[in-house]
Amino acid sequence: MSDRLTAAERAERIMSVVPWLVDADGVELDQICERFQLTRAELVDDLNLLFFNVGVHPFTPDVMVTVLYTDDDGADVESDDAAEHASWVSVELGDWFRRPLRLTSDEALSILAAGQALVSGHQADETLRSALAKLAAAVGPGGGDVLDVQLGSADPAVLSTVRRAVDRGVRLDLQYHSFARDAVTQRTVEPHLLTSRDGYWYLQAHCLEVDAVRLFRLDRMRDATETETPIEHPVGPMVDAFDFGESQQVELVLQPQDSWVASQYPTVSTEELDDGRSRVVLNISALPWLERLLLRLDPATEARDAVSGASLDTVRAEAARRLISRYR
């Protein structure tokens, strides 16, 4: 089992230490470590995180958290050497932190939306629910109904397993339905980030099968199993859900009733034709996806390779033939 502290656990630890330090106005490092069951290195690492990262724009001294280290004689000690040389530490909050909190309407709605997202994801306790109710009331009449946050559907058991693996930093074994391949595959992945986007839950993970970072939609996971193997690849930046990698560009000339294609799928280009039809160019990364799309469209749809101009009419014909053979 991984002993890595999750971001939420570390934030909870810091938030339990800091208020006590502010009130104490200077405490011996060893006393803090004993009280909160921390090593000196862990404590200094947390305090340095505060010193370098906590504040608000424009990051002047009055809006920053200040961490002061001193030795037994009261002399200042540089934070980089604190673990070895400092004896005392004190935390001072900038003036901004001591003022009553005032939120703009946009800030209040942003916090309310984030809180409701946690509630929707079943991560909230009664304290958060109570705080959200008060914030919704402060937004104004009907504040509780002003937002409707939907994070997308996913099997609760799968979502819970994936979230736990992300927190623990261990690999996942997945049974995953690839929409492009129209097949269920077995994947071993190193989970990095769980996020909700455009009504779906996504897992960003390093897929060991292709040795690259991929996005996996949770509603396409048939099963997810935690392992005890820690992840090895570092977390990278968020990848684009529509990063096609190696892909083919396909040009479709659509009948008027099929104009929905341009709004439902990401396109390279769209063009309205004089006769009411529309021309769209799409990126596709696998043939089965194109087959399913063509079977949904009017038979008069024209399909061709956008680069070579070669007709793709045989793609639909072959897909239709295989579909009909299943019912014979």
pLDDT digits 0-9 by tens, 29-66 = 888 888 888 888 888 888 777 766 666 666 666 667 77
The more confidently predicted of residues 263 and 78 is: 263
The more confidently predicted of residues 155 and 173 is: 173
Classify burial at 44, counting beta carbons within 10 Å of its beta carbon; exposed 0-12, middle 13-18, buried 19 or more. buried
Residue-wise pLDDT for 88-146, tens only, equals 887 777 666 666 767 777 777 777 777 776 666 555 567 777 877 777 777 765 555 55
Asked if residue 244 has pLDDT above 50, the reply is no
Rounded mean pLDDT of the chain?
Answer: 77
Q: Specify the pLDDT at position 153.
A: 67
Which residues on adjacent β-strands are paired with residue 311?
A: 304
The more confidently predicted of residues 10 and 242 is: 10
Tell whether domain 248-325 is in CATH 2.40.50.
Answer: no
The most distant pair of C-alpha atoms in the chain lies apart, rounded to whole Å, by: 91
CA 30 to chain centre: 38
pTM of the model: 0.42
Domain boundaries in the chain?
A: 7-98, 105-145, 156-230, 248-325
Residue-wise pLDDT for 280-294, tens only, equals 998 876 677 788 888
What are the tokens at 142? 């009907």
Distance CA(72)–CA(130), nearest Å, equals: 45
C-alpha distance from residue 306 to each of 192, 288, 302 (Å): 36, 18, 12
| Percent with pLDDT over 70 in the chain | 72
The more confidently predicted of residues 142 and 178 is: 178
Mean pLDDT, residues 173-178 taken together: 87
Strand order, beta sheet including 88-93: 27-28, 88-93, 65-70
Asked if residue 243 has pLDDT above 60, the reply is no
What is the dotted CATH code of the domain comprising 156-230? Answer: 2.30.30.530
Nearest to 225 by CA among 175, 167, 152: 175
